[in-house]
C-alpha cells in the first residue's frame, strides 16, 4: 500500500552552509515558486515546484503561497518548568532563581501539574515555530516523564533531562548524588532513542551540585556517550564568584565541568558570557558548545555574549530562548535581541546568517544536521511557514522591501508567533488555534 504524500507549495529557503555575508548566495537555496514533498514524515524532495511536483504521486497539495517555507526552528536551551516564571520582575540571576524559579519548579513533583504544563509548553513552542528544543526539566522524574510523554504524542524531536541538584536549593527541590544517578539512568532507559526523543544529562550548574553529584554526572556521561549533556556556565559575576568558593581547586568555572570529564561535542553550555582565555582554549580543545541566550542575558543584566570572538576560534555557538529568564518563546525575537547584543559590541548579525543559525546552525551544534535544520531530501519534515505581512506594521514595512534578506530582517525584528502561519511536525500540520 502506497503511503499518502503531501506537497507544500510556497517560496522555499534552505541552507547548505553558513552564509558569511549577505551576498553569499552559494550558502542557500531559494525558490520563488518552490515546493516540499513529504512522505512518511520525511522530506522526499524540495526546491523548484515544477521539478518537485514531477516526483509527486497523487500528493495532497497544500498551497501556502506567497508565504516562506523553511526548516522548523531549533531552540537549544529552554526551561520547561519555567512556563509560569517568564516575565517575573526585577532581579539578577541568583536572586531570580530563589525568588521565582525554585518555588515554581517545586510544583513539578505533581504528575498532573507536570502533564498540564507539558501540554501548555508544547503549544507555546509550536505556535512560535520551534520544532525541536533542548530542555531542562525540574529535579523531579515526573517532570521529565511528562516532557517526553507529550513530545511522543506530538511526534516531536526533543532533547531534555532531569536537572541534578543536591544543594543550594529549597526543600522539595533537591535530590542526592545516588538518586540523581538512579533517576537519570531510568529516564535514559525509558526515553533515549525511543521515537524522536534524546536525553541530556543535566547537572543544573556547579552551585547546585556537590562534588559527589558531579562524580555521578561523570559516570553517566561515560556510560552513555550517545546522550547529550547540558549545564550553565559563566552567566553572572556573582555566580562565578560563588562557584569559585564552592570549588576552590578548580582553575576557573569551566574547569569544574572539565575536571569531571563532562566536556565534549555533545555538551551544551548555557550563556558562557564571562569566559577567561583558558576556558576558551578548553572549548576549542573539547568541542563543547556555548549557547547564546540574548533575551535572558539582557533581562537579567548578565552581560554580552562574544559571538565573534568565539567564532574566530572555530567554536560553534548555538542560540536559544532560555525561557523563563528569556522573555519570549520566539526564536525570531531571540534573533532580534541577539542582533542588538552583537551591535553593542561592534559585531554584526546579517539576516541570512541569523536564519541559518536557528535552523541548520543549531542542528550542527547538536550533530543533527542530517535529520533536522534543512529541507534536504531525507530530513525529517519539520517545517515552518512564515508570513512577513502578519501584522499591519509588518505589511507596511514590506511594501518597500526589495530582497529576501530584507524580508528576513523584517521577520526577525518585527516577527513573533503571529508571523508563523503554520508549523508541520513530521509532515503533519501542528499549529493550534
pLDDT, one tens digit per residue, over 196-217 is 999 999 999 999 999 999 999 9
pLDDT at 425 over 80: yes
Number of alpha carbons in the 13 Å side-chain half-sphere of residue 375: 30
Q: The C-alpha cell of 292 is what?
A: 547564546
Across residues 261-272, what is the average pLDDT?
98
pLDDT of 107 reads 95
Average model confidence (pLDDT) for the chain? 96
pLDDT of 79 reads 97
pLDDT of 95 reads 86
pLDDT digits 0-9 by tens, 221-235: 999 999 999 999 999
Angle, helix 141-154 to helix 111-127, in steps of 10 degrees:
40
pLDDT at 1 over 60: no
pLDDT at 303 over 70: yes
Confidence of residue 98 (pLDDT cuts 50, 70, 90): confident
Helix (H) or strand (E) holding 146: helix 141-154
| Contacts of 319 by beta carbon, 8 Å cutoff, 6+ apart | 76, 291, 292, 293, 294, 331, 334, 335, 338, 357, 358, 361, 362
State if pTM tops 0.85.
Answer: yes
Q: Say whether 250 sits in a helix, a strand or coil.
A: coil
pLDDT at 2 over 70: no
Q: Give me the residue label for grid cell 564568584.
A: 241
Confidence of residue 432 (pLDDT cuts 50, 70, 90): confident
Amino acid at each position: 500500500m502506497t503511503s499518502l504524500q503531501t506537497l507544500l507549495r510556497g517560496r522555499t529557503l534552505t541552507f547548505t552552509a553558513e552564509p558569511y555575508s549577505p551576498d553569499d548566495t552559494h550558502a542557500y537555496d531559494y525558490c520563488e515558486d518552490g515546493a516540499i514533498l513529504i512522505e512518511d514524515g520525511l522530506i522526499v524532495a524540495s526546491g523548484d515546484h515544477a521539478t518537485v511536483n514531477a516526483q509527486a504521486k497523487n500528493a495532497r497539495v497544500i498551497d501556502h503561497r506567497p508565504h516562506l517555507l523553511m526548516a522548523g526552528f531549533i531552540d537549544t536551551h529552554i526551561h520547561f518548568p519555567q512556563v509560569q516564571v517568564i516575565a517575573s520582575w526585577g532581579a539578577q540571576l541568583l536572586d531570580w532563581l530563589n525568588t521565582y524559579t525554585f518555588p515554581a519548579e517545586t510544583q513539578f513533583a505533581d504528575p498532573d501539574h507536570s502533564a498540564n504544563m507539558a501540554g501548555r509548553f508544547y503549544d507555546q513552542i509550536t505556535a512560535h515555530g520551534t520544532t525541536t528544543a533542548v530542555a531542562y526539566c525540574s529535579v523531579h522524574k515526573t517532570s521529565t516523564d511528562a516532557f517526553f510523554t507529550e513530545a511522543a504524542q506530538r511526534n516531536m524531536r526533543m532533547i531534555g533531562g532531569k536537572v541534578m541538584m543536591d544543594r543550594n536549593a529549597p526543600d522539595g527541590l533537591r535530590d542526592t548524588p545516588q538518586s540523581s544517578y538512579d533517576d537519570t539512568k531510568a529516564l535514559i532507559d525509558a526515553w533515549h532513542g525511543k521515537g524522536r526523543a534524546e536525553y541530556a544529562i543535566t547537572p543544573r550548574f556547579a552551585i547546585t551540585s556537590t562534588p559527589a553529584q558531579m562524580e555521578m554526572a561523570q559516570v553517566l556521561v561515560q556510560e552513555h556517550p550517545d546522550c547529550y549533556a547540558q549545564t550553565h556556565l559563566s552567566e553572572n559575576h556573582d555566580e562565578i564568584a560563588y562557584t569559585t568558593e564552592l570549588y576552590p581547586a578548580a582553575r576557573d568555572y569551566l574547569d569544574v565541568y572539565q575536571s569531571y570529564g563532562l566536556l565534549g561535542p555533545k555538551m551544551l553550555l548555557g550563556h558562557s558570557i564571562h569566559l577567561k582565555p583558558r576556558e576558551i582554549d578548553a572549548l576549542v580543545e573539547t568541542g563543547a558548545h556555548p549557547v547564546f541566550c540574548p533575551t535572558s542575558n539582557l533581562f537579567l543584566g548578565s552581560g554580552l555574549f562574544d559571538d565573534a570572538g568565539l567564532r574566530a576560534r572555530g567554536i560553534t555557538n548555538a542560540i536559544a530562548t532560555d525561557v523563563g529568564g528569556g522573555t519570549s518563546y520566539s526564536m525570531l525575537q531571540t534573533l532580534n535581541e541577539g542582533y542588538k547584543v552583537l551591535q553593542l559590541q561592534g559585531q554584526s548579525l546579517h539576516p541570512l546568517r541569523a536564519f541559518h543559525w536557528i535552523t541548520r546552525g543549531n542542528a550542527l551544534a547538536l550533530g543533527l544536521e542530517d535529520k533536522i535544520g534543512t529541507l534536504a531530501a531525507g530530513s525529517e519534515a519539520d517545517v515552518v511557514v512564515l508570513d512577513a505581512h502578519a501584522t499591519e506594521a509588518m505589511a507596511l514595512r514590506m511594501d518597500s522591501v526589495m530582497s529576501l534578506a530584507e524580508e528576513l530582517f523584517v521577520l526577525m525584528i518585527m516577527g513573533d508567533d503571529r508571523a508563523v502561519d503554520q508549523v508541520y511536525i513530521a509532515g503533519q500540520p501542528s499549529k493550534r488555534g
